[in-house]
Structure 1
Amino acid sequence: MQEKYQVIILGSGMAGTILGTILAKNKVKVLIIDKGSHPKFTIGESTIPYTTQAIAGISDLFDIPELHPGVIGQKLERSCGVKKNVSFAYHHLGQEQQKDQITQANLDGAELHFFRQDLDSYLLHLAIHYGAVVKQNCQISDIEFDSNGKDVFIASEKGEKFSGLYVVDASGYSSVLAKKFDLREKPTHLKTHTRTLFTHMLDVSQFEACVHSQKVHGMPGNFHEGTLHHLFDGGWMWVIPFNNHKNSTNPLCSVGLQLDSRRFPKTDIPPEQEFFEFISQYPSIYEQFKNAKSVREWISTDRLQYSSKKCVGDRYCLLHHSYGFVDPLFSRGLASTCDCVKHVAQLILEAVKDNDFSESRFEELNEIYSRLLDLNDELVYGALISFKDFELWKTWHGVWQIPEFVSFFELAIARLKFKEGDREAFLKIDQFGNIKEVNYFLKQAVKEIEQVEKGTLSPEAAQKNLENLLEQVNLLPEGLKFSLSKRSFQTRWWAMLEFVHWLNFKSSPEVKQYYEGFKPMKTYQLLKEVAKR
């Protein structure tokens, strides 16, 4: 017997289940299929302010209170970590880490280290609560699009048969539809080249306890209260603790090593052995991990980056992580996922209403996905090349923070407008934003980095050029920019007032129009609202 649905979602991770929840809440008959079962190990664990505000916006837009970050934080408090800062410790081969080669951006307390197996299970149950049907351990053997232009037929290896009007692929790198329709770019156009080894570990020491105390390193926040990145020429590491607050009962820490796949191609060495052999070249990193033990199988990949020629077709679309991926650096993957789920959900709801799932209705997703992927690629690529030299990286940290904060403020303004009745303002916004000057600024910065990679410009000269570029850009007030001298950034409530003063008296007319609707105290309240747990 064939079961009939309106929308079939392939994959039950965070993106697939949020989309399934939205659609089911709106009375769409939804089936979510996954080849595995929950709980399961996956990464994409660290949020940024944009991600948290985007999830809060989706919760409001589609009237799903259980999706609000404050609610999620309460439900999963004991297994998730907190993220009060983002720290970057720069290392030289064979040397102890130097305390004056650390940068940090401090956040306002709302961010989390998601323990994904618990988050994804919570979201799966939420989708079921609202009416989605879920089939786990269901390996697809065949998917066919009927020539009548209406039906999609799916068969499983167990002989189950399903039909739907539209299919959304949320299965990530192993995308069923990307493979079926040969959608992958070969080779990808992305500039970034990295591979990864990752796992969850026990007994990872706090960096402050084994290398530099806060009194010595001088940064505003403790590393263990946020996401710590170890940087070196040719790659970086993430350290994401889940046990960094008093209410945590989760002793684990997420650890990943990213390496330039051209300089350090994948080998036949067991991943755990390769990990410890590599970090033994950096004494301070090794000191943090000398007693650490993995609790899961290590996962080792070839080059991480992939992209697709398009994301939509006749009666199907890919979600963003199925369309392409860059690298976990800067934690922008979940933010892009939230942006795209919001767009896809709205388009599907309109298609269901009109009973019209034609490809043309979804074509705008091609441009949205492409620009988000390329923006992330430019930021990560620039960072990886800047790791050749600490001063160059420190300046690139300042470059990264410009689009990060501009897009965040645009999102916050869009959320305020939504609360005042302007639904379209939030629907249309994404990380790429509306300020064209940001894209131009980033293109100029990437040109400097490209010359460093080619060897036609020294890191020292590129650093000077980027510093001059940062001095010229007028997209944020000084108080919201990264301090090159202090090597840190710290948010304060009065920054909102400084933003208003800058907006009224120092910003250009072109930039001012993009921030129309900014209200300092309401924006600050919006930020504090998502921090309540």
Structure 2
Amino acid sequence: MAPGTISLPRFADSVHLGGNHVNHETYDVAILGAGIAGSVLAAILARQGFRVLLLEKGAHPRFAVGEAMQPQSSMLLWILGERFDVPEIQHLSCTQKILRHVTRNCGVKKTFGFLYHEAGKPQDPQQAHLLIPPPTPLASESHLFRADIDHYVVKAAIRHGATYRDRTDVVDFTLGDDGVVLRTAGDEVFRARFLVDGTGHKSLVAERLGLRPKDPPLRTQSRTIFTHMRGFRRYDDLLAPHERPGLSRGWYEGTLHHMIDGGWFWVIRFDNVPGSESDLTSIGLTLDMRKYPERGIPPEQEFWEVVNRYPSIARHLEGGVAVRPWVGTGRLQFTATDSAGPRFFLMSHAHGFIDALYSRGMINTFETIHALAPRLIQALRDDDFTLSRFDYPRRLQDGMLLDNDRMVHNSFRSFANFATWNAFLRVWLANIIFGDLRMFRVCMKYLASGDKAEFAALDADAVPLSQAPGEDPLEDLSRFTDATFDRWEAGELTAEQAAAAVFAQLGRTPLPPIHAWSDPAAHHLDLLPEKLVKMVDWGQTVAPRPMNRWFDFDLGMLDRLRADAAA
């Protein structure tokens, strides 16, 4: 048996033939890359009885970033686990389930914290935003220690019948009318009916088929520096009582972002929940390359040079010691000219990536899997891989990437001035609340009916950026903000005028009365249960079309969930 092979009785062994080790078995699907995307899809397909080959160039457990969840990503994992009957995936949708079933190296994300800093000055508590999502018994957000999480999902895929090979480097492939042939650096040959590439920027499929443009047509231009640390204090412990926001949660109970002109830091603690056995924190700095071009210096040196310009960040990270090598990247952004073709699909980060800001990558990954999996399952059953079958996931994936590019690009532009950042954060917040609501609605309707067909309703929603002007108030708000920032960047408006214009547009946009959207002084949002009730009541009685379509569910289902959990 080759190193890293996990063999299952129903699959034929490899034999040596003509200089190659040829596996006589034809798999239904071969998946390249055993990160969280490839492994989740492998578990889903194997659970449905398909012959799945999961190939990994490296080995687990391994380091990976992409560690912070959002309500949307947690609910998508709940949906994927429920729809395709894979409980291991559903375990990842809740912090307590992760601690119970997966790993004790896990943090909690009960807050989104954003602290704006000016060089040479202590952080002003009046330039801060603490956003607290409503707790529900459906799902909860976590900080994922990816070495443990990814390994767990690989093992789940194996339990459901997938064949897993690590340390297997696929170096060539052939696409034919009847399937795919893969060749490895070890002269092995594998065959499959369909190929999914779930690797990353160095996707073999994208490279060989000429799908990766050298200069991606994306607006964001950022790079990042990161490591894991231990030894520094919680930010809350550095604050005097009058400097704390006085809300139901603290800064340390979620993902903390330090925002600066030209970049942002992430602080993702794995030690901020009872039951965690970790003492680690993920730390990263992402820089706008227009303001921070690469200088060829060691990443650790550059990280601390930037930190030391901001007294409150330096104080927060004082005593921090890196426990793994520092990583510094070049430009993060890339894309593919297409994500689907005859007998293949480029999934998630094999297709493209923007930036870790707002943890959007996880959402896009799981929504792509939700769109791809049922179509691939039906194609396998019908033995029909006509390209049009995969049109929706390819359009969805591309739309989500470009939408994220616009959001992140405008975020970096807004960082130049607190007034613009204060305005723009509300544009992001409005979009993320309705994105969460979209998932929440489908979950509530499924719990009320028990019909898994409810989940397919997600596919009926408009692909991001596809709406015409006037069709979607949130898309109109994003377009207005984008155009306003263009005018600011061109010198037609000052930062203060651009911020005022965005605040005025927020005031004209029909948004739920849970926040003073157009008031620059209203920074924090503690979305307590009574505010969730207020938002749903607004949506069911006052909200105009098309906003009211997201509220056609019974919020009382939450009480039933709580009762079930208590029982």
Partner of 1:178: 206
Indicate if the aligned counterparts of 1:45 and 1:116 stay in contact, CA closer than 8 A. yes
Among candidates 289, 301, 314, match of residue 261 of structure 1: 289
CA deviation after TM superposition for structure 1 residue 213, in Å = 4.0
CA deviation after TM superposition for structure 1 residue 421, in Å = 4.7
* 1:498 matched to 2:534: yes
After TM superposition, list the pairs within 5 Å mapping 1:199-238 onto structure 2: 199-210=227-238, 212-213=239-240, 215-220=242-247, 221-238=249-266
Partner of 1:117: 147
| Separation (CA, whole Å) in 2 of partners of 1:188 and 1:391 | 30
| Separation (CA, whole Å) in 1 of partners of 2:187 and 2:174 | 15
Residues 82 and 481 of structure 1: CA distance in aligned 2, closer, same or farther (over 3 Å): farther
Residues 480 and 247 of structure 1: CA distance in aligned 2, closer, same or farther (over 3 Å): farther
Report the secondary structure of 1:168's partner residue. strand
| Separation (CA, whole Å) in 2 of partners of 1:531 and 1:335 | 26
Indicate if the aligned counterparts of 1:204 and 1:253 stay in contact, CA closer than 8 A. no
CA deviation after TM superposition for structure 1 residue 404, in Å = 0.5
| Separation (CA, whole Å) in 2 of partners of 1:531 and 1:402 | 30
Indicate if the aligned counterparts of 2:172 and 2:182 stay in contact, CA closer than 8 A. yes
* 1:10 matched to 2:32: yes
| Separation (CA, whole Å) in 2 of partners of 1:169 and 1:293 | 36
Deviations 1:398-425 (A, max 9, x none): 1111111112112111122233155444
- Deviating more after overlay: 115-124 vs 268-277: 268-277
Residues 79 and 153 of structure 1: CA distance in aligned 2, closer, same or farther (over 3 Å): same
CA deviation after TM superposition for structure 1 residue 427, in Å = 2.5
> Which amino acid in 2 is paired with 1:67?
I
Indicate if the aligned counterparts of 2:197 and 2:345 stay in contact, CA closer than 8 A. yes
CA deviation after TM superposition for structure 1 residue 452, in Å = 2.3
* 1:333 matched to 2:399: no
Unmatched 5+ residue regions in structure 1? none
Among candidates 444, 450, 459, match of residue 495 of structure 2: 459
> Which amino acid in 2 is paired with 1:515?
W
After TM superposition, list the pairs within 5 Å mapping 1:31-430 onto structure 2: 31-68=53-90, 69-70=93-94, 71-76=97-102, 78-109=104-135, 110-146=140-176, 149-210=177-238, 212-213=239-240, 215-220=242-247, 221-419=249-447, 420-429=449-458
> Which amino acid in 2 is paired with 1:383?
S
Residues 516 and 89 of structure 1: CA distance in aligned 2, closer, same or farther (over 3 Å): closer
CA deviation after TM superposition for structure 1 residue 530, in Å = 12
Report the secondary structure of 2:223's partner residue. strand
Indicate if the aligned counterparts of 1:90 and 1:97 stay in contact, CA closer than 8 A. yes
Partner of 1:518: 553
Residues 292 and 504 of structure 1: CA distance in aligned 2, closer, same or farther (over 3 Å): closer
| Separation (CA, whole Å) in 2 of partners of 1:111 and 1:214 | 27
Report the secondary structure of 1:494's partner residue. helix
CA deviation after TM superposition for structure 1 residue 388, in Å = 1.0
| Separation (CA, whole Å) in 1 of partners of 2:551 and 2:65 | 37
Q: CA RMSD, aligned part only?
A: 2.2
| Separation (CA, whole Å) in 1 of partners of 2:226 and 2:425 | 24
Residues 475 and 98 of structure 1: CA distance in aligned 2, closer, same or farther (over 3 Å): closer
Residues 481 and 111 of structure 1: CA distance in aligned 2, closer, same or farther (over 3 Å): farther
Deviations 1:287-326 (A, max 9, x none): 1223111111111111111111110001000112211111
| Separation (CA, whole Å) in 2 of partners of 1:530 and 1:317 | 40
Residues 529 and 5 of structure 1: CA distance in aligned 2, closer, same or farther (over 3 Å): farther
CA deviation after TM superposition for structure 1 residue 482, in Å = 8.8
Residues 36 and 213 of structure 1: CA distance in aligned 2, closer, same or farther (over 3 Å): farther
| Separation (CA, whole Å) in 1 of partners of 2:519 and 2:557 | 26
| Separation (CA, whole Å) in 2 of partners of 1:529 and 1:213 | 40
| Separation (CA, whole Å) in 1 of partners of 2:524 and 2:538 | 21
| Separation (CA, whole Å) in 1 of partners of 2:564 and 2:146 | 19
Deviations 1:91-125 (A, max 9, x none): 11111111211111012352100000000011010
Report the secondary structure of 1:5's partner residue. strand
Report the secondary structure of 1:429's partner residue. helix
Among candidates 39, 46, 49, match of residue 24 of structure 1: 46
Partner of 1:476: 512
Report the secondary structure of 2:268's partner residue. strand
Indicate if the aligned counterparts of 1:496 and 1:520 stay in contact, CA closer than 8 A. no
| Separation (CA, whole Å) in 1 of partners of 2:109 and 2:63 | 20
**In the comparison of the two structures, how many residue pairs are matched?**
527
> Which amino acid in 2 is paired with 1:39?
P
Indicate if the aligned counterparts of 1:481 and 1:489 stay in contact, CA closer than 8 A. no
CA deviation after TM superposition for structure 1 residue 480, in Å = 9.1
Indicate if the aligned counterparts of 1:81 and 1:242 stay in contact, CA closer than 8 A. yes
Report the secondary structure of 2:111's partner residue. strand
CA deviation after TM superposition for structure 1 residue 529, in Å = 9.6
CA deviation after TM superposition for structure 1 residue 15, in Å = 0.6
CA deviation after TM superposition for structure 1 residue 74, in Å = 2.5
Report the secondary structure of 2:82's partner residue. helix
CA deviation after TM superposition for structure 1 residue 264, in Å = 1.2
Residues 457 and 530 of structure 1: CA distance in aligned 2, closer, same or farther (over 3 Å): farther
Indicate if the aligned counterparts of 2:472 and 2:546 stay in contact, CA closer than 8 A. no
Residues 373 and 530 of structure 1: CA distance in aligned 2, closer, same or farther (over 3 Å): farther
| Separation (CA, whole Å) in 1 of partners of 2:386 and 2:260 | 48
Deviations 1:14-72 (A, max 9, x none): 11000000000001100011110001111110001111111101111111122212333
> Which amino acid in 1 is paired with 2:420?
L
Deviations 1:235-293 (A, max 9, x none): 00000010112322111100110011122122221111111112111111111223111
Residues 422 and 479 of structure 1: CA distance in aligned 2, closer, same or farther (over 3 Å): farther
Query: TM-score, with normalisation over the residues of structure 1?
Result: 0.94
Indicate if the aligned counterparts of 1:50 and 1:411 stay in contact, CA closer than 8 A. yes
CA deviation after TM superposition for structure 1 residue 183, in Å = 0.9
Report the secondary structure of 2:546's partner residue. helix
Residues 74 and 484 of structure 1: CA distance in aligned 2, closer, same or farther (over 3 Å): farther
Report the secondary structure of 2:229's partner residue. strand
Indicate if the aligned counterparts of 1:319 and 1:340 stay in contact, CA closer than 8 A. yes
Q: Percent identity?
A: 31
> Which amino acid in 2 is paired with 1:459?
A
Report the secondary structure of 1:154's partner residue. strand
Report the secondary structure of 1:84's partner residue. coil
Indicate if the aligned counterparts of 1:412 and 1:523 stay in contact, CA closer than 8 A. no
